[in-house]
């Protein structure tokens, strides 16, 4: 049961960390609004459920589009600063500001929605809507399927299409890519849209796992950053590895320690993620995928 929850959580973290890593590679900004991107997805899903009675699993395609719009708009806001080549501190503050705007919007919207449907939407879960097979929650299969499908599509896009090659080229070396006639602006905008879309899908599935409140995004951001950093902020595959490391250890280590020290230990879940992140930063600052596995350093 605990392992089941841990795997579901890891899948969602992979999606969120993937978006964070993508935008970090293309634009060099750690996006503090990534957690709120997800919660925007959660609230769109709950709206579709309450008003149009669409089951959250079926609203996922719609979340992809809505998330892409949020991600793209964020890029449009950052664009003048990126174009001015502002310091990374300034860009980080800008994403904090966007996070605050999203938080305000989500909070305000949750109250408006509560008035429309007649009962509070400030916090909600979807777990009562889930199906189960042999006593295993449906979200377990769905989260695995969705994550695999999205990763497969991403792989096809990045490695089998011309646009994907251009995207990878502009990640590796934007200046050189630009001289080769690749529109770096376009690839950046695309990566932000993709990041928003992935986050929104994760947000649509998150309420099957835990209760959502407008502030949830500000809490899960610790785990998202931990995942990306542990895996390596500059490697797309890092998000995959990191998401699983953080997701599993955050759930399993916390569960294990709370069985020794009592349930009071459960509040230290984020501390576990943080400690792993700090250990990574101290010993392998470039993350697990940043290590030159098996290769001798070239001279």
Partner 1 sequence: MMDILQLILLWFGIYYIVAVSLNMEFGYAGIPNFGKALSVLVGAISVGGILNRLLIWYFGVKGDLIEGSTFAIARMNEIIAAHPLAGIFLLLIAILLAMVVGFVVGMIFILPSAKLKADYLGVTLLAISEAIFLVCVYNLSIIGGYYGISTPDILAFAPGEKRGWIFAGIVLVFAFLSFLFMEKLLNTPYGRVLKAMRENEDVVKCFGRDIMKLRMRTMAIGSAIGAIAGVLYSFYTGNIVANSFTRVEWTFFPFLMILLGGKGNNKGVALGVLAYVIVIVFLDIYKYDIKEIFHIPFEPVWLTYILFGITMLLILYYKPTGLIPERPVKTPPVKRIMED
* Residues binding partner 1 (CB under 8 A): 28-30, 32, 77, 80-81, 86-90, 92-94, 96-101, 103-105, 107-109, 111-112, 115, 218-219, 221-222, 225-226, 229, 233, 264, 267-268, 270-271, 273-274, 277-278, 281-282, 285
**Nearest to partner 1 of 31, 59 (CB atom):** 31
The residues that bridge with 132 in the sheet, in sequence order, are 137
CB of 222 to partner 1, least distance (A): 5
Q: Is 182 left (phi over 0), alpha (psi -120 to 50) or beta?
A: beta
CB of 39 to partner 1, least distance (A): 13
DSSP-H helix ranges across 28-132: 34-52, 60-83, 88-117
- What is the SS3 assignment for 127? helix
CB of 223 to partner 1, least distance (A): 9
What is the C-alpha to C-alpha distance for residues 93 and 278, in angstroms, rounded to an integer? 22
**Nearest to partner 1 of 63, 103 (CB atom):** 103
**Nearest to partner 1 of 39, 139 (CB atom):** 39
CB of 94 to partner 1, least distance (A): 6
The residues that bridge with 133 in the sheet, in sequence order, are 136
CB of 285 to partner 1, least distance (A): 7
Residue whose pair of structure tokens reads 């889930």 in the numeric block:
130
**Nearest to partner 1 of 94, 288 (CB atom):** 94
Q: What is the DSSP letter of 55?
A: -
Rounded to 10 degrees, the C-alpha dihedral 218/221/222/228 comes to: -170
Phi then psi for residue 82, to 5 deg, are: -65, -45
**Nearest to partner 1 of 86, 157 (CB atom):** 86
């Amino acid at each position: 049961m605990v392992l089941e929850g841990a795997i579901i959580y890891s899948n969602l973290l992979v999606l969120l960390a993937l978006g964070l890593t993508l935008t970090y590679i293309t634009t060099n900004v750690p996006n503090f609004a990534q957690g709120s991107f997800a919660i925007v997805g959660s609230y769109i899903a709950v709206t579709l459920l309450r008003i149009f009675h669409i089951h959250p699993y079926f609203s996922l395609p719609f979340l992809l589009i809505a998330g892409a719009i949020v991600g793209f708009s964020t890029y449009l806001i950052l664009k003048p600063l990126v174009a001015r080549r502002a310091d990374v501190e300034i860009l980080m503050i800008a994403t904090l500001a966007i996070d605050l705007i999203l938080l305000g919007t989500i909070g305000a919207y949750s109250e408006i929605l509560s008035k429309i449907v007649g009962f509070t939407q400030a916090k909600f879960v979807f777990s009562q809507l889930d199906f189960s097979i042999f006593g295993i929650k449906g979200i377990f299969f769905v989260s695995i399927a969705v994550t695999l499908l999205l990763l497969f599509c991403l792989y096809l896009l990045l490695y089998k299409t011309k646009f994907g090659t251009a995207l990878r080229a502009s990640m590796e070396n934007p200046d050189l890519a630009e001289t080769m006639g690749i529109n770096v602006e376009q690839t950046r905008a695309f990566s932000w849209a993709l990041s928003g879309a992935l986050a929104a899908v994760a947000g649509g599935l998150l309420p099957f796992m835990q209760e959502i409140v407008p502030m949830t995004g500000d809490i899960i951001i610790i785990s998202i950053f931990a995942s990306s950093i542990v895996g390596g902020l500059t490697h797309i595959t890092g998000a995959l590895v990191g998401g699983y490391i953080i997701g599993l250890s955050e759930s399993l280590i916390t569960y294990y320690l709370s069985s020794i020290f009592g349930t009071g230990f459960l509040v230290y879940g984020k501390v576990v993620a943080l400690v792993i992140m700090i250990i990574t930063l101290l010993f392998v600052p470039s993350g697990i995928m940043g290590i030159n596995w098996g290769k001798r350093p070239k001279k």
